[in-house]
Structure 1
């Protein structure tokens, strides 16, 4: 194993939070228990995906509000909230509320662009304004201003017996510094830096003209462009999120399942997919030592000190327990990450 030049500083995981339509409460409870387990295992952060009109978490802020009351230390993130579905003012209120409830542990990740399958949902989502909605970066700029406490109203003061503020309440002063942007393109990575946000880069990037088809090289170029545009430069925070499945304590049946899952998804990693030329990273499955070797050979991983490893979509709870436990107890030490108890809080 090559010795890491710098240890991994923050270890997180990401879950889709899937559920059975006939028993949605059970699936949400499982997600909350996984977050509790993550805290027990010493993970620094737990992140949830956002899935509208699917059988996954449609309201991550509400789920993380619940998680904030069942945990004490672990940071809670969204990866990511698509702002095309949101009113930035109302979202800013929800984010600030959960941040206050959590004691300043919320890490909201967002993205911009039209809602997925917009033609199918436009009448329900924006019946009167669909053709006038701006789904570009102004939407995230507006959210950032509101989270930072800039005026949302022209009035503040007392009317009758009610007192009004001109900014979002509650105001959580540290939240603006914990806003993340999930980007898959070079331009979006640059804009995240220009907005002085943190950068989430995942297992999918866009293979734009002239970029080639080497996933790790493209991801590294995005990280470099983000930091070049960010006021903090090389100190700007970046988190990498690959699908990582260690098998150290897995049963033979689990190993076979994991390997079959990765093999079925491998063809999509060999060439860009669709008109947007999306390029996917192979899933990393195997013993922790081998996964660590693959990570230390990955140009994107070498540029970060934070990771949010993504859990596969369709496994059973016992599989996720094994995977999270192996990440925390087998893989993390090989990556040079010190246990939480030995680090300064």
Structure 2
């Protein structure tokens, strides 16, 4: 079995946070409980997907603000926020606020491109100005500049009793180094590297010069690092769907395998005009999944992951999957859980 070039350093997970449209609170509470569980299990990061006009988290910033008050150590991320729906200046304010509240634990992942079903929602989102919107990299550049503390206006000072700043407030100095670009093409990987961002790679890529998923993803990682000021030390996180079954019940195993089987056909060839290529879901024992990851060309060149939880499972399923990832799969990949507050003192006393 081929070995990775480095042990896994950071272990994270990603959830969509589904809820019932008629009773949304339990679903949101489940997401927060899952993040709390992730911290207890020693995960380094928890990430939430961003969904608009669907039954998934539409406001990750608000959910992560809540999570920041129910956790103390685990990093909190968005994967990813589509900037086409956002005003970069307002988003910069929200991100900095949550980063301050969390004690510097926020990882903001973003992407560009027009919103899905734009023709159907443009009048609600940008009434009268939809045709004037720029959904490209310039929107990211604006967010980067605001988060990194560059001036947003040429006005500052005191006016009456009001004091004004020329940059976004609050300003969180470390947040600029924790901005991630969710890229699925060579162009976006290079752009993220050129602009000093971190790179999120997921289970979806564009089939540009190959139809081999691992080969395509590896080319993105290398292109990103070739352009990044930090070179080989530039941060890349890989987000594949993994479903370990070590402690799963027989019924759970059957459902997990059926879920992966239904999604497998889309991995056989590029899909749609964008030629999107999907990675197969990895289902099996932690030892089996580790073997498949070690054989994955891109995985062997990264040391951070944010494994994606399946979309439609129950809370108890996520508990089992996360527990197996933290206690079985992570160690198979060379990862050790982060000590919880008080662990070091207990070890010393023992």
TM-score when normalising by structure 1: 0.98
Corresponding residue SS for 1:120: helix
Q: How many residues align?
A: 342
C-alpha distance in 2 between matches for 1:241 and 1:8: 13
Residue-by-residue CA offset, 1:218-262 (whole Å, 9 max, x unaligned): 000000000001111110000000000000000000000000000
Residue-by-residue CA offset, 1:23-42 (whole Å, 9 max, x unaligned): 11110000000000000000
Corresponding residue SS for 2:243: strand
Aligned to 1:307: 305
Task: Determine if contact 1:246/1:285 at 8 Å carries over to the other structure.
Answer: yes
Aligned to 1:292: 290
Aligned with residue 233 of structure 1, among 225, 228, 231: 231
Corresponding residue SS for 1:341: coil
Q: How far off is 1:2 after superposition?
A: 5.2
Aligned to 1:318: 316
Aligned to 1:46: 46
Q: How far off is 1:203 after superposition?
A: 0.3
Q: Does 1:7 align with 2:16?
A: no
Q: How far off is 1:4 after superposition?
A: 4.3
> Which ranges in structure 2 are unaligned for 5 or more consecutive residues?
345-350
Q: Does 1:132 align with 2:132?
A: yes
C-alpha distance in 2 between matches for 1:81 and 1:204: 16
Corresponding residue SS for 1:6: coil
Task: Determine if contact 1:4/1:336 at 8 Å carries over to the other structure.
Answer: no
Aligned with residue 274 of structure 1, among 272, 275, 278: 272
Aligned to 2:29: 29
C-alpha distance in 1 between matches for 2:337 and 2:3: 18
Q: Does 1:170 align with 2:170?
A: yes
C-alpha distance in 1 between matches for 2:142 and 2:4: 40
C-alpha distance in 2 between matches for 1:135 and 1:2: 41
Residue-by-residue CA offset, 1:117-142 (whole Å, 9 max, x unaligned): 11011111100211111111000000
Q: How far off is 1:338 after superposition?
A: 1.7
C-alpha distance in 2 between matches for 1:131 and 1:341: 51
Q: How far off is 1:154 after superposition?
A: 1.2
Q: How far off is 1:114 after superposition?
A: 0.6
Q: How does 1:207-246 map to 2 (within 5 A)?
A: 207-208=207-208, 211-246=209-244
Corresponding residue SS for 1:307: strand
RMSD: 1.2
Q: Does 1:341 align with 2:339?
A: yes
Corresponding residue SS for 1:290: helix
> Which ranges in structure 1 are unaligned for 5 or more consecutive residues?
none
Q: How far off is 1:281 after superposition?
A: 0.3
C-alpha distance in 1 between matches for 2:210 and 2:2: 27
C-alpha distance in 1 between matches for 2:150 and 2:5: 41
